[in-house]
Amino acid sequence: MRHFIFLLIFCFSINLLLAQEGQYELKENISYVSSSADSYSKERCQLDVYYPKDKKDFTTILWFHGGGLTEGRKEIPAYLKDKGVAVIGVGYRLSPQVKVEDIIKDAAKAVHWTFDHISEFGGSNKKIVLSGHSAGGYLNLMLALNPRYLSDEGINSDDLFAVVPFSAQCISHFTARSERGIGINQPVVDEYAPLYWVRKNEVPITLITGDRELEMVGRYEENAYLARMLKIVDHPDVKLLELDGYDHGMTYPAFPLLLKEIARLNK
């Protein structure tokens, strides 16, 4: 009898899992650039949309992959699946084929596409969250803090629901510095630094890093300085979270924090 009950529970759990998975759909390789774009742009500037089929006005996470702006591909993080939100994995062009400026503009075009099209999947363009790891987090902050990139796409960056970058570079990205022959360990704060664009707006910003002693050189301190400067200009909703014991590959413990932040904002 005990084995029979266990079997029933097991079958029920499997059926529940399958039913939950069946409520989501994945649309892959959607281009967010014009048909006249060059072949490299068409190859890289694609996105995947993973969304709940039976839910309306859901929150959408735009997820930008890491890789130093020189490598990596679009991805839908497994932990974020089946959590009641849509996840859009964004691909973008890479250095050295293009400049960092072009990569940021690609990211802005992906945001523009999402604002224009997420309602077709049932989502709300008033609930778009930027997130990503490392280089992806850097792109999040450049779009959120320098309003020019999204403004050029006809989007007000202050209309973002939230920004939750993981281990983002906050000084000028090392790939942008490399383009000008500046060494990787030489800190620079110029127009390619999120810190350069510190401003007060209403978009909640949650900065998450690994342990300051285990992270990439200075990554925690960069985020801590950005958080401090945002508070100095009276930004109303900024947090800095340090994950003790985790190095730069700190995405798993950060994913639940991302979802917790979305739940807070949806209350």
What single letter denotes the amino acid at residue 8?
Answer: L
Tell me the C-alpha distance between 71 and 83, whole Å. 28
Q: Which residues pair with 205 in a beta bridge?
A: 163, 238
Tell me the C-alpha distance between 58 and 51, whole Å. 9
**Distance (Å) of CA 20 to CA 14, 40, 82, 86:** 10, 37, 7, 14
Q: Distance between terminal CA atoms of the chain?
A: 44
In tens digits, the chain (267 residues) has pLDDT values of 443 333 333 433 434 343 344 599 999 999 999 999 999 999 999 999 999 999 999 999 999 999 999 999 999 999 999 999 999 999 999 999 999 999 999 999 999 999 999 999 999 999 999 999 999 999 999 999 999 999 999 999 999 999 999 999 999 999 999 999 999 999 999 999 999 999 999 999 999 999 999 999 999 999 999 999 999 999 999 999 999 999 999 999 999 999 999 999 999
